[in-house]
Chain A
Amino acid sequence: MMWRFGLADSTFEPLLTSHWALAIALCLPLVLGGLAAVWPPKRMWVVALACAPLLTSGLLLLVDFTQIGLLRWQGEVLGVSIGLRLNGVSILLLLLTQWLGAASALYTPGLLNVSPPERLARWLWPLMGVVVSALSLVWLATDLITLYLALELMGLAAVGMLLLSGKTPALFASMRYLLLTLVGSLAYLLGVALLLGYWGQVDLAGLAQVVEPGPVTWVAAALIGGGLALKAALFPLHAWLSPVHASAWTPVSALHAGLVVKASLFVLLQLWSILLPDTFWAPRLVAWMGMLAIIWGGLIAWRAESLKTLVASSTVAQLGYLMVVFPLLLGPNVGPLAKALAWEGFWLQLMGHALAKAAMFLAAGNLILATGETTLKGLAGCSRKLPLSLLVFGIASVTLMGLPPSAGFTAKWLLLQAMVISQQWWAVAALLIGTLLTAAYVFRFFRYSFMETAPRHHYQPLSPGMDIIALCLALAAFVLGLLAHFPLELLHGGSL
């Protein structure tokens, strides 16, 4: 499992361009956020121009990675050694973060132009910059201290972004989220304290060499797992997720549901694969919770009154798919083929869901902004005036349902193959039930939207760019399934 997370030694030193690209990828979002707070951009092309260097840095890192393989950086700040690494998974997630962040940033001026002016609106930009920077750091970091710093920065900035819409329910939901995420990080910190006290290591590669199964490791893994599960909204701890999204701004929701939630899941998987390799019960427990999450999230989304609740509850169910894979990634008695397939399927599902969920939130936001209605009943008949937004919603839900040729289909195909090989029939059943439930809640919304008898509303015109960004994200999730061989090759690149 170690090589999968790129914790081995690298063969070559990073190139000079990689150093610069890394610095830009980590620092530029902060700088851009600060600049945008002082001079808030009003037009989309300004944002596009500002994001261009950031996207270039990601592509440069991709090129360097494909040429020389695993990249590692070691440094020391005030006597604390800090390690970064760039392997296949990190580069994919870094690219995803940069493109999703850029898409959310591009969408924002259009949103701020049509919504009533809000006093706190300019704070959105620096917070978004902090979230993108912190996410990039989470994908790259290889020691527990940097991971803690990045997770905390990301969590606090995410809370700040979610409450910016200024509505009272948003403030209540953010307050609850803030307290829970802070307590979750204390659990993580206590787990780290146990590891540091017993093994004396905070570096992941060093920790992997000395750690042995035992009560200390189990309790540390349980504390870290519990804290991160709370931050990642994994099933029994998911209750804060829907209210938080119900009244937040759409680009914020897109970034949060697409990536912020998954960063905690990524750290959880990475740390458990070090602390609990080949344990039987812990991954099983996560998988059972995942099955319940698929069913519960699907049912809640199916009965949802408002569109945002539908989309947010579907996140709970889709995270369930990722939880179900845990025994295949971490458990004992799994063949190498099943393990490799599960590994590929896991990341493809994560990326496909991030893109599709972001597209879905943006499309839902467009529908809500244009009609001024938030409930499914209020949105009845919106197909007459807003066909494009509805089309985007449809393409995104194709990925969520897992119909071919989307990323969701390819990912589920890989996962099903792995589950059949290792004879995990419960997981197969959960996957199939989840697909049916997804179809049920998506088509429930479509039934409302095509109602011809609904009264005609006054529609607020939106700038065409807002629909086009959502369409691009939805198409990206769609095409990722067709071109899946490219990211999958990168995932294997770490094994060389």
Chain B
Amino acid sequence: MIASLDVIEVLLALCLMTTALLCLFDRHLVRACCCFGVFTLSMALAWLTLGAPWLAIAEAIIGALLTVPCFFYALGIFPASSSALPRYDHFKEPLTRGMTRTLLALAWCVMVGTVIRFVLPAMVYSPLEHPLLFVGVVIVATAMGAFAWHRHLLRRLLAFNVMGSGVFLLLAGMAGTSVQGQALITIGLVVAWLGSLLSALLIRTLYLREGPAALLGASEPQESKQ
């Protein structure tokens, strides 16, 4: 089985996995955003190996050229401004809440894993036959967990974007890169970009108005400043 593994796909899968994990769990926000840039470029390469060149171009343009600048804008690095966001996220979630969320993410991972068994029966005998699909499951589950764990708005936004890419990988892995699949993924990419753009504008505005406390998405009612 191992002999039939495509070396390029395995390398890509490993690259995707590492950059996704770094992007999700690095507390240094600039580094995390840079990792997201590398992650999208590897995604574009993954589309190329899956035989969807147009999707690769769309991913490279929308992901690397349009979405990553949104994050740097939210961080206050691009365009350079005096009121950049703090580089580190020091917030620590209480352990009990974190545990329940992690368990939920794990349960989710098991559920999707079982279903993929039905969609692609070959996966049962050689789970590593489709490394990209395998990585997709893990990325979505981890990103889901990270989305639930983090309170920092920018890190939740990053987690959403990584989760989106994982879902696209799953979609392409299960449905192949048919026209319908490519249409769904392209719509998803555009939506993710628009959502990131809107979120980046919101994070920046909230930070300028309310200071660092706003970055944790403080939902307690506050006095509105006109």
| Distance to closest chain A CB from B169 (angstroms) | 10
A194 touches B203 (CB 8 A): no
Q: Which of B13-21, B65-73, B81-89, B109-117 contacts A (4 or more CB under 8 A)?
A: B109-117
B174 contact set on A, CB distance < 8 A? 193-194, 196-198
Is residue B118 within 8 Å, beta carbon to beta carbon, of the partner chain? yes
Please measure, in the bound complex, the distance between the C-alpha atom of A193 and the C-alpha atom of B214, giving whole angstroms. Answer: 36
B222 contact set on A, CB distance < 8 A? 168-169, 172
B114 touches A215 (CB 8 A): yes
B202 touches A171 (CB 8 A): yes
B191 touches A168 (CB 8 A): no
Please measure, in the bound complex, the distance between the C-alpha atom of A210 and the C-alpha atom of B214, giving whole angstroms. Answer: 49
A178 touches B195 (CB 8 A): yes
| Distance to closest chain A CB from B132 (angstroms) | 14
A168 touches B209 (CB 8 A): yes
Known: A152-B191, A197-B175, A215-B114. A175 touches B167 (CB 8 A): no
Q: Which of A39-47, A184-192, A259-267, A469-477 contacts B (4 or more CB under 8 A)?
A: A184-192
Is residue B187 within 8 Å, beta carbon to beta carbon, of the partner chain? yes
A186 touches B187 (CB 8 A): no
Query: Which of A168, A183, A196 touches B163 (beta carbons < 8 Å)?
Result: A183
| Distance to closest chain B CB from A83 (angstroms) | 13
Please measure, in the bound complex, the distance between the C-alpha atom of A100 and the C-alpha atom of B206, giving whole angstroms. Answer: 32
Is residue B97 within 8 Å, beta carbon to beta carbon, of the partner chain? no
Q: Which of B4-12, B22-30, B152-160 contacts A (4 or more CB under 8 A)?
A: B152-160
Q: Which of A159-167, A338-346, A404-412, A460-468 contacts B (4 or more CB under 8 A)?
A: A159-167
B118 contact set on A, CB distance < 8 A? 198, 214-216
Closest to B173 in A: A197
Known: A156-B191, A171-B202. A196 touches B112 (CB 8 A): no
| Distance to closest chain B CB from A451 (angstroms) | 25
- Cβ contacts A142-186/B at 8 Å (1 or 0 each): 001100110010001001100100011101111110110011011
Query: Which of B153, B175, B210 touches A168 (beta carbons < 8 Å)?
Result: B210
A172 contact set on B, CB distance < 8 A? 206, 214, 217-219, 222
Is residue B76 within 8 Å, beta carbon to beta carbon, of the partner chain? no
Please measure, in the bound complex, the distance between the C-alpha atom of A163 and the C-alpha atom of B140, giving whole angstroms. Answer: 29
Known: A80-B179, A156-B194. A189 touches B224 (CB 8 A): no
A152 contact set on B, CB distance < 8 A? 187, 191
Main secondary structure of the interface of A (DSSP, over half): helix
Query: Which of B170, B184, B199, B214 touches A145 (beta carbons < 8 Å)?
Result: B184
A196 touches B115 (CB 8 A): no
B209 contact set on A, CB distance < 8 A? 168, 171
A219 touches B115 (CB 8 A): yes
Is residue B96 within 8 Å, beta carbon to beta carbon, of the partner chain? no
Please measure, in the bound complex, the distance between the C-alpha atom of A370 and the C-alpha atom of B171, giving whole angstroms. Answer: 52
Query: Which of B119, B181, B210 touches A194 (beta carbons < 8 Å)?
Result: B119
B184 touches A175 (CB 8 A): no
Is residue A202 within 8 Å, beta carbon to beta carbon, of the partner chain? yes
Is residue A109 within 8 Å, beta carbon to beta carbon, of the partner chain? no
Give the size range of A's interface with the partner: 35 or more
A214 contact set on B, CB distance < 8 A? 118
Known: A171-B202, A174-B202, A215-B118. A192 touches B163 (CB 8 A): no
Interface size on B, residues (CB 8 A): 50
Please measure, in the bound complex, the distance between the C-alpha atom of A423 and the C-alpha atom of B86, giving whole angstroms. Answer: 60
Known: A178-B202, A193-B167, A214-B118. A219 touches B111 (CB 8 A): yes
A192 contact set on B, CB distance < 8 A? 171, 184
Is residue B145 within 8 Å, beta carbon to beta carbon, of the partner chain? no
| Distance to closest chain B CB from A189 (angstroms) | 6
Tally of A-B residue pairs with Cβ under 8 A? Answer: 133
Q: Which of A163, A183, A197, A200 has the largest number of chain B CB atoms within 10 A?
A: A197
A190 touches B167 (CB 8 A): yes
Known: A172-B219, A198-B118. A79 touches B187 (CB 8 A): no
Closest to B203 in A: A175
Is residue B205 within 8 Å, beta carbon to beta carbon, of the partner chain? yes
Is residue B221 within 8 Å, beta carbon to beta carbon, of the partner chain? yes
B115 touches A160 (CB 8 A): no
A80 contact set on B, CB distance < 8 A? 179-180, 183
Is residue B55 within 8 Å, beta carbon to beta carbon, of the partner chain? no
Closest to B210 in A: A168
- Cβ contacts A126-146/B at 8 Å (1 or 0 each): 000000000000000000110
From 135 to 154 in chain B, residues with beta carbon under 8 angstroms from any chain A beta carbon are 140, 147, 153
- Cβ contacts A193-231/B at 8 Å (1 or 0 each): 110111010100000000000111001100000000000
B194 contact set on A, CB distance < 8 A? 156
Please measure, in the bound complex, the distance between the C-alpha atom of A174 and the C-alpha atom of B183, giving whole angstroms. Answer: 28
B224 touches A176 (CB 8 A): no
| Distance to closest chain A CB from B17 (angstroms) | 19
- Cβ contacts B164-202/A at 8 Å (1 or 0 each): 100100110011101111011001100110110011001
A186 contact set on B, CB distance < 8 A? 160, 163-164, 167, 188
B175 contact set on A, CB distance < 8 A? 193, 196-197, 200
B119 contact set on A, CB distance < 8 A? 194, 197-198, 216
Is residue B225 within 8 Å, beta carbon to beta carbon, of the partner chain? yes
Is residue A434 within 8 Å, beta carbon to beta carbon, of the partner chain? no
Closest to A181 in B: B195
B221 touches A160 (CB 8 A): no
Is residue A397 within 8 Å, beta carbon to beta carbon, of the partner chain? no
Question: B residues bordering A, Cβ < 8 Å?
Answer: 111-112, 114-115, 118-120, 140, 147, 153, 156-157, 160, 163-164, 167, 170-171, 174-176, 178-181, 183-184, 187-188, 191-192, 194-195, 198-199, 202-203, 205-206, 209-210, 214, 217-219, 221-222, 224-226
Question: A residues bordering B, Cβ < 8 Å?
Answer: 78-80, 116, 144-145, 148-149, 152, 156, 159-160, 163, 167-169, 171-176, 178-179, 182-183, 185-186, 189-190, 192-194, 196-198, 200, 202, 214-216, 219-220, 243, 247
Question: What 12 additional pairs, Cβ within 8 angstroms, besides A145-B187, A175-B153, A185-B191?
Answer: A168-B206, A172-B218, A175-B217, A179-B147, A179-B157, A183-B160, A186-B167, A193-B174, A193-B184, A196-B181, A200-B175, A219-B112
21 A-B residue contacts at CB 8 Å?
A78-B179, A145-B183, A148-B188, A156-B194, A160-B198, A167-B224, A167-B226, A168-B224, A169-B221, A172-B217, A178-B199, A178-B202, A186-B163, A186-B167, A190-B167, A193-B167, A193-B184, A194-B115, A197-B120, A214-B118, A215-B114
